[in-house]
Structure 1
Amino acid sequence: MKQLMKLTAIAIIAGIVLAGLLNIIQSLTGNHAYILLFNMDYIPLLKQWNNTYGAGMVFHFATCIASVIVLFYLLKPLQRSLTFLPYFLTYTIGGGILYSLTALTELPPALTDTTAWGIWTLGHGVYGIVIGLLMKYWK
């Protein structure tokens, strides 16, 4: 139970950093990559709550928590769960790939918006850095 609480805390901290960074970038540039963190309108079971206040935030943090816990336990048998690189690579590459889900929604940004893709991927790289560092150094 203690391990799950630590993983949850790491996910929440990294999720705050990711959302904060993308929000700042949106404020400075007007680019809408930030919106994708909270958008659920392309997920059949969740789209009914897409316009419910706070639902997108719950979705974002639930995704953060689930992904950190799952990745930790996938890496554990490989004895890589407390190392930096797997988290950084998984979240940077995975984030870049997941950007393609924007094609399933009518909300901005467009799939062809390479600046938004770069911002999204950068944000997820930072997310991976935060998780990787916390996994490695939080004892």
Structure 2
Amino acid sequence: MRQFGKLIIIGTIAGIALALFLKVIQILIGNQAYVLLFNFDYVPVIQDWEPQLLVGYLFHFITCIVSAVALFYLLRIIQREYLIAPYVLVYTVGGGILFSLTGLSEQPPAITDGAAWFYWTAAHAVFGLIVGGLIKNWK
């Protein structure tokens, strides 16, 4: 299979794992970090698209796929595309920063919810592990 197709599958698999991780946290602990995963009410234009549930899922998976593809090709420039650590680092730090977008929404979690930030950031570290691991092992 061509590399681009593999990256689309990898982004999808990692996106499913990211959502499942946060859904399990929501079910077991009650933390609402999962809600932010499909929230796009702060994005002009698409915030009004319907049905919102479907648009939320598409928004999530397109973001996962595009980020996996883009980071792979960026890392290829410096010949680091088959190392796991850069994926974990970028997605963990990036996820931690992206949590601040919850401040633009009235939906949970609150921007001051430290536990939600922790779960959100940990879930993105897992995303990075999966993306990096699958890329490394599916050459």
TM-score, length-normalised on structure 1? 0.96
Distance 1:50 1:71 in 2: 30
Matching residue of 1:65: 65
Q: Determine if contact 1:103/1:111 at 8 Å carries over to the other structure.
A: yes
Superposed CA offset, 1:59-84 (max 9, x none): 10000011111111111110011111
The structural deviation recorded for 1:110 is: 0.5
Distance 2:39 2:16 in 1: 16
Matching residue of 1:89: 89
Distance 1:68 1:50 in 2: 26
Q: Determine if contact 1:50/1:56 at 8 Å carries over to the other structure.
A: no
Distance 2:53 2:137 in 1: 36
One-letter amino acid of the structure 1 residue matched with residue 94 of structure 2: G
Q: Rate the CA distance shift 1:50–1:92 in 2: closer, same or farther, 3 A.
A: farther
2:17 is aligned with 1:23: no
Distance 2:62 2:53 in 1: 16
Q: Determine if contact 1:83/1:132 at 8 Å carries over to the other structure.
A: yes
Distance 1:50 1:78 in 2: 41
Q: Which runs of 5+ in 2 are unaligned?
A: none
Name which of structure 1's ranges 119-128 and 43-52 shifts more when overlaid on structure 2: 43-52
Distance 2:68 2:19 in 1: 16
SS at match of 1:83: coil
Q: Which runs of 5+ in 1 are unaligned?
A: none
Distance 2:86 2:112 in 1: 28
The structural deviation recorded for 1:101 is: 0.5
Matching residue of 2:129: 129
**Greater RCO (CA < 8 Å, at least 6 residues apart):** 2
Q: Determine if contact 1:8/1:69 at 8 Å carries over to the other structure.
A: yes
Superposed CA offset, 1:3-58 (max 9, x none): 11100000000000000010010001111100111001000021012652311111
One-letter amino acid of the structure 2 residue matched with residue 132 of structure 1: G
Matching residue of 1:105: 105
Distance 2:53 2:91 in 1: 27
2:116 is aligned with 1:116: yes
Structure 1 residue ranges (4+ consecutive) displaced by more than 4 angstroms after TM superposition: none
2:2 is aligned with 1:2: yes
Aligned length: 139
One-letter amino acid of the structure 1 residue matched with residue 47 of structure 2: K
TM-score, length-normalised on structure 2? 0.96
Measured on the aligned residues, the alpha-carbon RMSD in Å equals: 1.2
